[in-house]
């Protein structure tokens, strides 16, 4: 990534701190108030799917992408300089 783009992502927009609230309160997971049923968005983010309580911690494609972005920002040698 060019240095100017990396500087904008890290300093101007502070992407690292922006990803943490998304992981703490994920918009791809919801609980229906009347039935107490958990739902998650599918891999394409198009529709909600019911999820059993035992499978609630299973990562979706969307959540995995956020974790990969966070991992890349923290562990990339160019970023840590």
Domain spans in the chain, listed from the N-terminal domain onward: 3-75
Q: How far apart are CA 69 and CA 76, in angstroms?
A: 10
pLDDT higher at 80 or 10? 10
Coil vs helix vs strand at 38: strand
> CA angle at residue 71 from 68 to 74, to 5 degrees?
150
Least confident of 56-60, 61-65, 73-77: 73-77
Record the tokens describing residue 40, joined without a space: 């998650």
Instruction: State the pTM of this model.
Output: 0.74
Q: How confident is the model at residue 69 (pLDDT cuts 50, 70, 90)?
A: confident
Of all residues in the chain, the percent with pLDDT exceeding 90 is 31
């Amino acid at each position: 990534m060019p240095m100017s783009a990396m500087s904008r992502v890290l300093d101007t927009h502070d992407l690292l701190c922006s990803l943490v609230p998304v992981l703490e309160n994920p918009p791809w997971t919801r609980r229906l108030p009347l039935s107490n049923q958990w739902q998650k968005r599918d891999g394409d983010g198009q529709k909600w799917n019911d999820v059993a309580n035992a499978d609630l911690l299973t990562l979706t494609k969307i959540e995995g992408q956020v974790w990969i972005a966070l991992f890349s920002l923290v562990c990339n040698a160019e970023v840590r300089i």
